[in-house]
Amino acid sequence: MKSQLTYIDLFAGAGGLSEGFIRAGYKPLAHVESDQAACFTLKTRLAYHYLKQNRKLDTYLKYLKGNIGRYELYSHIPEDLLSTVINRKIGSENKIIFNEIDRLKGDKKVDLIIGGPPCQAYSLVGRARDQNGMKNDKRNYLYIHYYKFLKKYKPKVFVFENVPGLLSAKNGQYFKNMSTLFKKAGYLTKPFELEAKNFGVLQNRRRILIIGFRRELDFILPDLENFKSNITSAVKSVFSDLPKLQAGEGKDKYFIYSGKTNAWLRDAQIRNGVDIVTQHISRPHTTQDKEIYQIVVEKWNVEKKRLDYNDLPERLKTHRNRHSFFDRFKVVADDLPYSQTVVAHIAKDGHYYIHPDIDQNRSISVREAARLQSFSDDFYFEGVKVTANRTAAYKQIGNAVPPLMAQTIAIKLADLLR
């Protein structure tokens, strides 16, 4: 029997990247994340995998149905597994994190380090919105702490994920400094520009993936940029089987599907035998927003055109900025092969993610956003409190790496490492 490849996930978020690696057979030694809500999500997902592996999935299903609470769910999970989620801030708490990881891993070697620091500092949109172009943002330098983990644990490979703006930030200086530092730690690196839609994700999501490997290994890395998945569909597959909602409606736990599965839901592992829908919750909207949403959807349905904000009737224009972000209202068109990028801003409002059904007249639900990111329907996003938190869920989803893309990357690297 082959031994499991091991990894540490830094800046783990809700665990989208980690989910792909777990699906590919890797074993997480630790997840490090500063956001408390995301840490609960990570623990809940570890609970799912543990219970599934030990043929006790009924306990997890009770949780999804609301029959047991979060802490009762955790009571069925070994404490040493739950403790692999480290709720600490990389940088200021490195010493504590190192001690925790050393305790958790024991004499096990670390095969990989995965994860990427928060991307706002490198994002083109983030730099455009910040008056200083994010030049003074401390997150620009989190890669230095990533280097410290590489230096200490010496994995064979690391996978560093971020936004395309990383390559151009400060005229490419950050990326150049990063590559130099990683080389100092003993790693050769190669950046890949990836499109999530090429991996079966129904979303136009561009990302930079830096893969580093110890120079003595002399690896030939897989050609990820030219990978094309045979998992394809139109965006309508995301919505086809979910109960219809009006703005402000929905259930955290739980719905029954209103329709049959489809090829994409099955092939992308969205529906995998657990017939329970959670977090199909829509945020409420003002009367004015709903009027705009109807205009946006009708314009797409009739003309196949996106709305320019300046074309709205004057009485509906409330934003002072009329010179940029003209497409701040946008339908998730279900007749296209992929949607617009799902980002963390969806936690603040849903204007950029309007549901394509004009009769529902709302922005997309938490579950619909999760599906666009290729999270399976049994993946539950936690808040800090045990009650549902729609905002925390949206934020975690928008910041995540699509698990379907991560799984392909993990499989390709496993073939190389073995």
Task: Encode 244-274: b = buried (16+ Cβ within 10 Å), e = exposed.
Answer: ebebebbbbbbbebeeebbebbebbbbbeeb
The domains found in the chain, sorted by start residue, are: 6-230+402-417 (3.40.50.150), 236-399 (3.90.120)
Q: Which two tokens stand for residue 385?
A: 């409190």
Residues 6+ apart with CB under 8 A from 410: 20, 21, 23, 24, 26
Beta carbons within 10 angstroms of residue 243's beta carbon? 16
Whole-model pTM above 0.85?
A: yes
Cα–Cα distance, 165 to 118 (Å, whole number): 12
| Higher pLDDT among residues 28 and 136, named by residue | 28
Which residues are within 8 A (CB) of 314 and not within 5 positions of it... i.e. 6 or more apart? none
DSSP secondary structure, 358-369, as one string: TTT-SBPPHHHH
pLDDT in tens, 285-331: 999 999 999 999 999 999 999 998 888 888 988 877 666 667 889 99
How many CB atoms within 10 Å of residue 215?
Answer: 11
Q: Which residues are catalytic?
A: 119
For 20, 46, 131, 169, 401, the CA distances from 141, given in Å and listed in that order, are 27, 30, 19, 12, 21
Query: Quick one: pLDDT at residue 160?
Result: 95
Whether the per-residue pLDDT at 1 is higher than 60: the answer is no
Give the closest residue to 214 by CA, choosing from 174, 187, 237.
187
Of the chain, the percentage scoring pLDDT greater than 70 comes to 93
Instruction: State how far the Cα of 226 lies from the Cα of 55, in Å rounded to an integer.
Output: 38
pLDDT at position 43 is: 98
> Rounded to whole angstroms, how far apart are CA atoms 279 and 299?
29
Measure Cα distances from 398 to 150, 205, 229, 241, 252 in Å: 27, 11, 22, 22, 18
Going from the C-alpha of 382 to that of each of 44, 116, 228, the distances in angstroms are 8, 21, 33
**What pairing do the DSSP bridges indicate for beta strands 206-214 and 187-195?**
antiparallel
> Which pLDDT score is estimated for 33?
97
Q: Do 8 and 32 meet the contact criterion of CB atoms below 8 Å apart?
A: yes
pLDDT tens by residue, 350-392 = 999 999 999 999 999 999 999 999 999 999 999 999 887 999 9
pLDDT: which is higher, 41 or 179: 41
Which residues pair with residue 105 across a beta bridge? Answer: none
> pLDDT tens digits, residue range 46-102?
999 999 999 999 999 999 999 999 999 999 999 999 999 999 999 989 999 999 999
pLDDT-based confidence at residue 164 (cuts at 50, 70, 90): confident
Which token pair is 161? 């994920």
Q: How far apart are CA 194 and CA 196, in angstroms?
A: 6
Tell the residue number behind the tokens 């999530």, with chain if given.
Answer: 196
- The count of other CB atoms within 10 Å of the CB of residue 112 is 25
Q: Which residue has the tokens 């029997």?
A: 1
The string of pLDDT tens digits covering residues 196-243 is 999 999 999 999 999 999 999 988 999 999 999 999 999 999 999 999
* pLDDT averaged over every residue in the chain: 91
| Per-residue model confidence as pLDDT tens digits over 105-135 | 999 999 999 998 885 555 444 434 444 444 4
